[in-house]
Amino acid sequence: MKVSDFDYTLPQELVAQAPVPRRDTSRLMVLERTTRSIDHCRFLELPRLLRPKDLLVLNDTKVVRARLLGRRSSGGRVEVLLLGKAGDGTQEAGDKTQEAGDKTQETGDKMCASVYRALIKPLARLRSEEEIFFEKGFSCRLVDPKERLVAFGKGEAERAMAQVGHVPLPPYIRRPDGARDRARYQTLFACAPGAVAAPTAGLHFTRRLFKRLEARGVGVTTLTLHVSYATFAPVRTEDVSAHRTPAEPYLLSPEAVDRIRRTRRSGGRVIAVGTTVCKALEDAAGVILGSRRLAAPFKKESTLFIHPPYRFRVVEGLITNFHLPRTTLLMLVAALTGRDFILRAYREAVAREYRFYSYGDAMLIM
């Protein structure tokens, strides 16, 4: 398949710029894969659409305020979006961290202990080793423009995000972030800090809805996959199968694996809440479908790229938002529904004026 096979036309006015007043009042499109039927309701009706013994798997990652607005010494504006520590897991990044620390020590400053990968605008105008200044006295240094690495003093990045960081809203939301976004661009069950974007399928859930799901006999468990730039990395090859997905670490607890196994044995369905959950569950299928009981959390870096044709081994249903055209996320959903069916559903969503993308409406695929 070609990337162009996953294109569609969307009027810009349907891109949601703000959340609905109450999370669970967003609209919900329901796709039935066997009959290829499409229905329309509200997210708060989810309990009646699921069966007792079904299991929802959620991503409990928490969005950090990773967008920093700064200036050069000349006064020019610079935006830095921190994507995560560069020293996690690679020798090259570890070397960069040590190099940055050595250079900082040479200047007599406190030891520099943190090197982050970042998206930087405007990167082309910045020089290697140039310092970027933020509010309240925070700063970082551009260690490697090619690799987009910036260095902070010990603990400074975390403090900068907490004190002067902004919610990293997607670029298609054409307004500054506000106080409301700090609450609404976060799921109610978020508890593991580290994401630079929200697992948006989870934004529709409320405490009241969880109580109704429990009363219905629907189970809930969680895993952790920090939504990163890798989740949204563009497909730069025309041939879909030639695309390679950057590695994304995830964590699956023994309790979650046990819940999934018991659900499958009892005849319930495993329903992924979001594409990140879907990817992690399918990547961990060998462990989940095995019989060995885990003594510790299962941690792995996934490079799994789900696209048609793909045979799902664990996931039997999916709750997801509407995705950008030509993206790996849309390809994943198409692998579950079939390309023609999902594109028909998107055309119907446009005709019925659904709200699209992160703050938009949702879809249930069964």
CB 267, CB 219: distance < 8 Å: no
The residue with tokens 């989870």 is 202
Domain boundaries, the chain: 3-64+178-365, 67-164
CATH number of 67-164: 2.40.10
What tens digit of pLDDT does each residue of 156-168 get?
Answer: 999 999 999 999 9
Report the distance separating Cα 348 and Cα 336, nearest Å: 18
Architecture of domain 3-64+178-365: 3-Layer(aba) Sandwich (3.40)
**Main-chain dihedrals φ then ψ at residue 175, nearest 5 degrees:** -160, 160
Question: Of all residues in the chain, what percent carry a pLDDT higher than 90?
Answer: 89
Measured on CA atoms in the order 148, 149, 155, 156, is the torsion positive or negative?
negative
Mean pLDDT over residues 169-198, rounded? Answer: 95
Residues whose CB falls within 8 Å of the CB of residue 318, separated by 6 or more in sequence, listed in order: 271, 272, 275, 278, 333, 336, 363, 364, 365
Three-state secondary-structure class, residue 209: helix
- In the structure encoding, which two tokens stand for residue 359, read together? 């703050």
pLDDT confidence tier of residue 304, bands split at 50, 70 and 90: very high
Instruction: Tell me the angle at which helices 328-337 and 339-351 cross, rounded to the nearest 10 degrees.
Output: 110
The yes-or-no verdict on residue 95 having pLDDT over 70 is: no
What tens digit of pLDDT does each residue of 127-159 get?
Answer: 999 999 999 999 999 999 999 999 999 999 999
Question: Residue 59 belongs to what H/E stretch?
Answer: strand 55-59
Mean pLDDT over residues 68-74, rounded? Answer: 96
Question: Residue 163 belongs to what H/E stretch?
Answer: helix 156-164
Report the distance separating Cα 60 and Cα 277, nearest Å: 10
Look up the pTM and report it.
0.91
| Nearest 10 degrees: Cα torsion 116, 279, 197, 44 | -160
